[in-house]
């Protein structure tokens, strides 16, 4: 049997990007989460996957709304990542956002934003694996370095000297 603490420690050695997933809370506000469990799934059709804690409020919103936006964060957005990582309401306090034409919350600042419609979902242990069809892609038009997550720390990706 694998020890949970050992598994968590081992997984911490895998560096990943940092994303914020936003979803309507159904009351004119925004809910969401910070996710490093994100991946491109398919190019044709364009699909992504996110993994959402079954106990999170975002899971409830996603089940109801069936639409979300994945934002790739830049090195200047650690505070945004931390805001959406905390539990409880009001994650978007102090974060600028607006509703897209489809009614999905979109942050005002991002490297890339992928507006998605839920295509499929399945249980994956203590998380829900959600497949989203990408309906719209927005880019910030900047070459800022992305945020990364490694060994429990949020960091900026620093290019290796060549």
Beta strands in 76-126 (DSSP E): 97-99, 105-107, 112-124
For the chain, the domains span 4-36+57-113+139-151
Q: Is the pLDDT of residue 37 over 80?
A: yes
Class of domain 4-36+57-113+139-151: mainly beta
How many CA atoms within 13 Å lie on the side-chain side of 110? 24
Distance in angstroms (rounded) separating the CA atoms of residues 97 and 103: 12
Quick one: pLDDT at residue 162? 52
| Measured CA distances, 154 to 23, 66, 84, 127, 132 (Å) | 23, 29, 13, 22, 25
- Against a cut of 0.75, is the pTM above it? yes
Residue 151 — pLDDT band, cuts 50, 70, 90? Answer: confident
Q: Which residues pair with 35 in a beta bridge?
A: 19
Q: Is the pLDDT of residue 134 over 80?
A: yes
């Amino acid at each position: 049997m694998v020890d949970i603490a050992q598994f968590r420690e081992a997984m911490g050695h895998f560096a990943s990007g940092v994303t914020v997933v936003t979803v309507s809370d159904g009351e004119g506000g925004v809910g969401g989460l910070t996710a490093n469990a994100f991946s491109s799934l398919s190019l044709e059709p364009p699909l992504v996957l996110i993994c959402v804690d079954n106990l999170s409020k975002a899971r409830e919103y996603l089940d109801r709304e069936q639409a979300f936006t994945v934002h790739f964060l830049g090195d200047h957005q650690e505070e945004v990542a931390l805001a959406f990582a905390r539990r409880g309401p009001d994650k978007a306090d102090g974060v600028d956002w607006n509703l897209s034409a489809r009614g999905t919350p979109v942050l005002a600042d991002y490297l890339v934003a992928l507006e998605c419609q839920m295509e499929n979902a399945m249980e994956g242990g203590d998380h829900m694996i959600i497949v989203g069809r990408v309906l719209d892609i927005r880019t910030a038009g900047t070459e800022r370095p992305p945020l990364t997550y490694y060994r429990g720390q949020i960091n900026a990706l620093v290019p290796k000297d060549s």
